[in-house]
Amino acid sequence: MAWVVAVEALVIALLGLLVVGLLRSHTEILAKLHALEAGTGSGGAGAGAGRAGPVAAREASDVTGETLAGEVIRVGVAGARHDTLLAFLTSGCFTCIGFWDRFRSGRRLRVPGGARLVIVTKGPEAESPSKLAEIAPPDHALVLSTRAWEQYGVEVAPWFAYVDGPSGRVVASGAASDWDQVVEMWSKAVEGRGEGGRAREHTADQKLLAAGVHPGDPSLYPPDKES
């Protein structure tokens, strides 16, 4: 009788190990699927979420593509008087849903640096214009352009790129999981380089002029050192 109990205990132990192994495998499979989905840019920000950083000496490109009506459109961002925040989204991205909802909610949208917001999806060969028409916000420009995704090196969706208009350069880019995170991180990334920085520069110029210091004034330049 004792040997029967021992066998039952052994069988129960083996079943327990089997269940633990199955659960572990299931967890690993889900993690790999999530990573794969994020890597293709179809499932959300994934590992890239919450990553916004400056980029060195990278020139911006105007966004050329199509409207939802199939008309050719070009949005000028390089050399513009204002800054532009490009939001790269897809219609099938789970994380993107929150951004689509926020953009068409009608609530006042705080955009970092006071920039203009432009939404960029891939072209009609990779997107459904009819589906985009259902979720597109009426108050923000929308361009279908696969080329723009390539030009700006978009890694995942949602992806954002901040363009300093006057300099024509991308000063920050990266992924984010919600709009509040975009506002927080991109505001820090473009601090002193967006509208606020130019306003401070203008104020400084006005103070110098009021003090009688004009462009080219010798006091603005350090004296030459004697050799």
Can you tell me the distance from the alpha carbon of 195 to that of 149, in angstroms, rounded to the nearest whole number?
A: 25
State the angle between helix axes of 179-189 and 96-103 in degrees (0 to 180), rounded to the nearest 10. 90
Model confidence pLDDT, tens digit, residues 119-128: 999 999 999 9
| pLDDT in the model for residue 140 | 94
| pLDDT in the model for residue 54 | 52
How buried is 100 (Cβ within 10 angstroms: 0-12 exposed, 13-18 middle, 19+ buried)? buried
Can you tell me the distance from the alpha carbon of 28 to that of 185, in angstroms, rounded to the nearest whole number?
A: 31
Model confidence pLDDT, tens digit, residues 55-87: 544 799 999 999 999 999 999 999 999 999 999
Q: What percent of the chain has pLDDT over 70?
A: 59
The vertex-187 CA angle with 120 and 143, nearest 5°, equals 10
Nearest to 163 by CA among 96, 75, 104: 75
Q: Is the dihedral of CA 210, 215, 216, 221 positive or negative?
A: positive
Amino acid in the structure at residue 203: T
Q: Are 162 and 112 in contact (CB under 8 A)?
A: yes
Higher pLDDT, 106 or 15: 106
The vertex-95 CA angle with 73 and 133, nearest 5°, equals 35
> Residue 43: is its pLDDT beyond 60?
no
Q: pTM score > 0.75 for this model? A: no
Summarize the confidence of residues 100-106 as an average pLDDT: 93
Please provide the DSSP assignment of 1-63 as one string.
Answer: -HHHHHHHHHHHHHHHHHHHHHHHHHHHHHHHHHHHHHHHTSS-SGGGTTEEE--SSEE---E
